[in-house]
A = this chain, B = another copy of it.
Amino acid sequence: MDLHDAATPPRRRRADARRSIHAILNAARVVLGERPDASMEDIAAAAGVTRQTVYAHFPSRDALVVALIEAAAAEYLAALDAASLDTAPPADALARFLDAGWRFLRRHPLLLNPAAPGAPRPNRNALSDVVPPRLEQLIRRGQGTGDFRASLPAAWLADAIIGLQQTAAAQVAAGRATTQEAEALCLESTLRLCGGEARR
C-alpha cells in the first residue's frame, strides 16, 4: 500500500516519502547502470514499489534521471569535500581527487557511457561547474609549493586530467583495461602532466 490515508501523521508520511525516494533513486542507479534503456516499471520493481509510487515522486523518466544525476553530483562533491584537497600534500591530494572520481564512476556506471542506446544525455553542468574548479585550485596550490611545474595553466591541466580520467574509464568500459590498470595508468599520467614526477 503506497498511498497514505488522511489519518497518517504528516511527519511519518514525509519519512516514508524520503525512504521511497531513496529506494527509487538507488534502484535507478543500479538498474540504469546495467541497462541504460530500462523502463520505469523495471526501476519500480527493483525498488520494491509500485509504478504509481515512482510516478508520484518523479513525473517522468527524464525527471527521474535528472534527480539521479543531481544526487550523484551531490555525492561526488561530498566525497571531494571529505578528501582534504586543500591541505594534503599536492601529489596525495591529486591521487585522492582521482580516487573520488573512480568511486563516483563505479557507483554510477550509467554516467560512464552516455552514448549507450536509450541512455539519458545528462546536462552535466551540476558537475562540470563545480568539479574542475576544485581540481584547478589544488593544482595551483601544488604549483605554488613547487610540487608541480608551473609552466602550464592550472585551468587547462584540470580539464586535461578530467579528460584523461574519462579516457581511462572508457578503456575499462571497452574491456581494454581492468579498473586497477586504468586507475594506475591515469594516476601516473596525471602526475606526468602536472610535472609532479620531474621532482622525484
Residues of B within 8 A of A189 (CB): 152, 156-157, 160, 193
Would you call A144 an interface residue if the criterion is a C-beta within 8 Å of the partner chain's C-beta atoms? no
Out of B151, B152, B159, name the residue touching A167 (CB < 8 Å): B159
Would you call A188 an interface residue if the criterion is a C-beta within 8 Å of the partner chain's C-beta atoms? yes
Pairwise interchain contact B185-A153, C-beta atoms closer than 8 A: yes
* Chain B: CB-nearest residue to A186: B160
Would you call A18 an interface residue if the criterion is a C-beta within 8 Å of the partner chain's C-beta atoms? no
Interface residues of A, dominant DSSP: helix
Would you call A166 an interface residue if the criterion is a C-beta within 8 Å of the partner chain's C-beta atoms? yes
**Cα distance A177–B121 in the bound complex, in angstroms:** 26
CB distance from A78 to the nearest CB of B (A): 26
**Cα distance A185–B167 in the bound complex, in angstroms:** 18
Please tell me how many copies of the chain the complex holds. Answer: 2
Chain A 51-75 interface mask (CB, 8 Å, partner B; 1/0): 0000000000000000000000000
Would you call A50 an interface residue if the criterion is a C-beta within 8 Å of the partner chain's C-beta atoms? no
Residues of B within 8 A of A164 (CB): 160, 163-164
**Cα distance A193–B164 in the bound complex, in angstroms:** 11
**Cα distance A155–B168 in the bound complex, in angstroms:** 12
Would you call A103 an interface residue if the criterion is a C-beta within 8 Å of the partner chain's C-beta atoms? no
Q: Within residues 116 to 169 of chain A, which ones have a CB less than 8 A from any CB in chain B? A: 121, 151-153, 155-157, 159-160, 163-164, 166-168
Would you call A6 an interface residue if the criterion is a C-beta within 8 Å of the partner chain's C-beta atoms? no
Would you call A198 an interface residue if the criterion is a C-beta within 8 Å of the partner chain's C-beta atoms? yes
CB distance from A199 to the nearest CB of B (A): 11
Pairwise interchain contact A185-B198, C-beta atoms closer than 8 A: no
**Cα distance A192–B164 in the bound complex, in angstroms:** 13
Out of B159, B163, B193, name the residue touching A192 (CB < 8 Å): B193
**Cα distance A166–B198 in the bound complex, in angstroms:** 26
Out of B121, B167, B197, name the residue touching A163 (CB < 8 Å): B167
Would you call A195 an interface residue if the criterion is a C-beta within 8 Å of the partner chain's C-beta atoms? yes
